[in-house]
Structure 1
Amino acid sequence: MATAAPDAMTIAQKLGLRFVKNGPGDETIFRCPFGCDDDSRPNEGHFYINARTTTCYCHKCGWKGNLLTLYAELRKVDPRAARSELGAEDEPFRPPQRSPNLMAPVEHRDRVYRTFLSVLNLDAEHKSDLLRRGLDESTIFKRGYRSVPQDPPLRWKAARFLIQRCGSLEGVPGFYLREGKKGSYWDFLSPKGYFVPVRDPWGRIQALKVRLDSGGYIWFSSEGRPKGSSSGSPPHYTGGRGPVYVTEGPLKADVAHFLSGGAPFIGTGGVHATKEVPELLKLLGASDVLVAFDADQFTNQNVRRALQDFIQELKKCGFRARSLSWPQNLGKGIDDVLLRLYKREVTSVTFLIDGVPVTVRRTVTLEVAVGRGVR
């Protein structure tokens, strides 16, 4: 007789995952078991487990899989041994069968998202957060950051407007069909925060991320919901000329692009969400790539290993890939370091590019001099 697979919470407890809170729908939020959550914010978590589908995804580092692969990776065993240890030898993890949520073409997603953002506002607190990061008002407006509407009637009105202007919302991540007393109607996910557009090399908005008021980021996704779709975890490209920098997150990439005076940045969905980056680099015709993951690469073994694996993969694909790092006391991310230069809190910073010191000085623009020390 087949043994039923244990439920999600039982497996999470067995693995010692730290519960944070219940998420939307069938999802539960935990602290990331791969150590990417900030220790200074113990009540935040980015690791989502869907009890119905058994899928797992970290919205910060980008790790994804299911409960079986999670158990196998954390316990350092193969899937067969994991299934045995979980007491489900005869009943592998099979998510409920459902019709696949097909994603709409990027051209349609771009049209919907642009129209959507054009009718939304940016709350004062969200604008202040973007200004604090170093962006100016013109860039904030052009980049399309907007607050996520919270009022249900406003959401429904916006959805009806989008249907009138753009046609169907089926397959556009974030939107889904709901059932009410008077029939079906369109709605969208509304976590408290603001939208960050994720663009492809042609400037099309292929997805949206949400910077949460509570901290952290999630994808604007409606996977598993009627007529909805997963957003996937596509890389974001800022545009620009010169060697391409790769960092964590679209907002970080936007800020670094602005503060550097226009250097091209790719923002991944996390240190484990880099699969699509080599193909993007090929489309850009890039050769030199600088990987600027956050400074916790020095204290977090999982981040460091992901960085090393990513650079090796880029080299296998023919790119001249190098790591870019900086003194940890200057900031966690590349955007934090550039902001200190931009605000003249420091006059120069010495980065290490594969161990070679490169000093960046703040003048009218950012100037680079190789091999010089910090002033």
Structure 2
Amino acid sequence: MRRISKDTIQKAKEVDLVFLAEQLGDQLNRVGQSYFTYRNEGESTPSLSINPNKGIWKDFAGTAGGSDAISYYYYRINYSESYPKGSEFFEMVEKVCELCGITIEYEDGQSREFNNVEYKPREIIVKESEKASPEQLNKVYKVMLKEFSLQQQHVEHLKEVRRINVHTANLRSYGSIIQDKKERYIKTKAIKQSVGNLEGVPGFAEIKGKYGLYWSVVGRSGMLIPFRNINNQLVGFQVMYDERPQLIKADGDLLVQMKDYNNFSIIQKSTGELIGEANRDQLPISNELGSISIKLGQKYGWFSSPINPSIGIYNGAEIGDPLPYHAAVPSKALADWDIFQDNIRNHMNVDEIWWGEGPLKGDIASDFTQKLHLQVAGVSQWRLLLEPTKQLKPKRIVIAFDADAQDKEDTVGLNVFNAVKEAKKELQPLGIDVAIAMWPSNVAKGIDDLFHAGYKPKIIDIP
């Protein structure tokens, strides 16, 4: 038997399942995104479903199912729940191609055409899912952390750098995203089997692979840092990257336009003229117009999965709308709170609440102050803290953003100034006083480092 080309095999696998079912004469009834038909054994009610967008079929009254056209054809023709192998597999490929009008190309250069059928390869629908509810996010993320548990290098970072022991790290639900794509897929499959639906959960995405769409986690590897709301629901994660992304930076009168990760075009900013092409291996580059070099990107990023067909992501959800805040509580209160899914007010005194930036900093600081710390990812997002604060109705908030943010006169410093000014305007009419925690930036940048150094901030009430 002549060997069929890999390209032809792939085309046969990716045939639109609805088109194939129609060619086989299956009676189809559409319900939403799925099509239903009858099983091989005979029945009065359709119980075999086809989802053409995902490229899967399932006999949900039995055990048969598959993720390509070859498995569906084999099930229909041979009444078998297994997958064809050896010469039988290649026979199924030829049959699918003949039935659907796909030209068979062989490795020896020969081909067979079928002009009696016109087939157009299916298009995968790009779908941006609305972010799931806090209840669903919490359900998925708790199962996820059992699969993506804390790796040893992150345990060491927490212990040596953050001074957080293993017991506290596990209590606070830190985890790790691994680099290996196969392991990601295996773990995601286990999560999906447990929770059922991953749509709308940031960090998870449907990805187009060699054999169709599959669910997995996306993004760089690193330590997962949880964001939980005041009802103890895990609603998002930041990732502290194992390796910071390397970005290409242009200075002077130069711009770069990326063609892919390695290659880019060099453009003169003032004229828009294309000067030339280059790649990362040639950097740094300097000329009379400016320079192009590598710079390190952000250390932290969101666990998020925006759709991007150019890299194979066809169904995902972003972290925003809204971005999460983090309720950091003392370890003792968290141990009690984890038994219940209710408001933190039921487990600790919230008469005084601290505001800050960075979930890790808040976790550490809360054990020093024994107060509730509401944290955002960055100073500019401080308004996210207004609503949970109003719900908790404290007597006072203490604003404790990084010391260098308080010192700066640029937009960061302006955000701190606006936070104090507008928080006072919003909260004081509700009987909530506003104060600010201050310390010299040469002593410590963040409040976590300040406490670790043995100091306390000076708290100044805002009249």
- TM-score of the superposed pair, with normalisation by structure 2: 0.52
* Cross-structure match for 2:416: 307
Question: Would you say the 8 A contact 1:134–1:259 is kept in 2?
Answer: no
Counterpart in the other structure of 1:166: 195
What is the root-mean-square deviation in Å for CA atoms of aligned residues?
Answer: 2.0
In the alignment, structure 1 residue 134 sits paired with structure 2 residue 163: yes
Following superposition, which runs of at least 4 residues in structure 1 exceed 3 angstroms of deviation? Answer: none
Q: Which residue of 2 aligns with 1:335?
A: 448
**Structure 2 match to 1:351:** 458
Aligned to 1:298: 407
The total of aligned residue pairs comes to 252
Q: What displacement does 1:334 show?
A: 0.5
Structure-to-structure mapping, 1:188-207, within 5 angstroms: 188-207=217-236
Q: Does the Cα contact within 8 Å between 1:327 and 1:351 map onto a contact in 2? A: no
Indicate the residue corresponding to 2:215 in structure 1. Answer: 186
- Displacement of 1:136 after TM fit? 2.2
Partner of 1:109: 137
Matched position secondary structure for 1:163: helix
Q: Which amino acid aligns with 1:283?
A: Q
Q: Name the CA distance, whole Å, in 2 between partners of 1:258 and 1:229.
A: 33
CA offsets 1:224-248 (integer angstroms, 9 cap, x no match): 3433111122110023534111111
Matches within 5 A, 1:134-153: 134-153=163-182
Asked if structure 1 preserves the Cα contact closer than 8 Å seen for 2:438 and 2:457, the reply is no
CA offset digits 1:205-238 (Å, max 9, x no partner): 0001101234621110112343311112211002
Whole-angstrom distance in 2 between the partners of 1:137 and 1:259: 18
User: Is the contact between residue 110 and residue 206 of structure 1 (CA under 8 Å) also seen in structure 2?
Assistant: yes
1:236 aligned partner: 326
Tell me the residue number matched to 2:368: 259
What's the % identity of the aligned pairs?
Answer: 30
Q: Tell me, which stretches of 5 or more residues in structure 2 are unaligned?
A: 1-125, 245-298, 308-312, 330-347
CA distance in structure 1 between the partners assigned to 2:153 and 2:386 by the alignment: 36
Q: Distance in 1 between matches of 2:381 and 2:129?
A: 21
Tell me if structure 2 keeps the 8 A contact 1:251–1:267: no
Segments of structure 1 that go 5 or more residues without pairing to the other structure are: 1-97, 342-347, 357-375
1:46-61, aligned counterparts within 5 Å? none
The match for 2:315 among 207, 227, 247 is: 227
> Partner residue of 2:295?
none
Q: 1:137 to 1:286 in 2, by over 3 A?
A: same
Shift of 1:352: 4.1
- String of CA shifts for 1:293-352, please: whole Å, max 9, x gaps: 1011213422221011112221122232222111222210011011122xxxxxx54524
Letter in 2 for 1:217: Y
In structure 2, the partner of 1:250 is: 359
Aligned to 1:57: none
Secondary structure in 2 matching 1:155: helix
- Residue 368 of structure 1 is matched in structure 2 by none
Instruction: Classify the secondary structure of the residue corresponding to 1:125.
Output: helix
Amino acid at match of 1:120: F
Letter in 2 for 1:110: N
TM-score by length of 1: 0.63
- Which one-letter code corresponds to 2:198 in the other structure? L
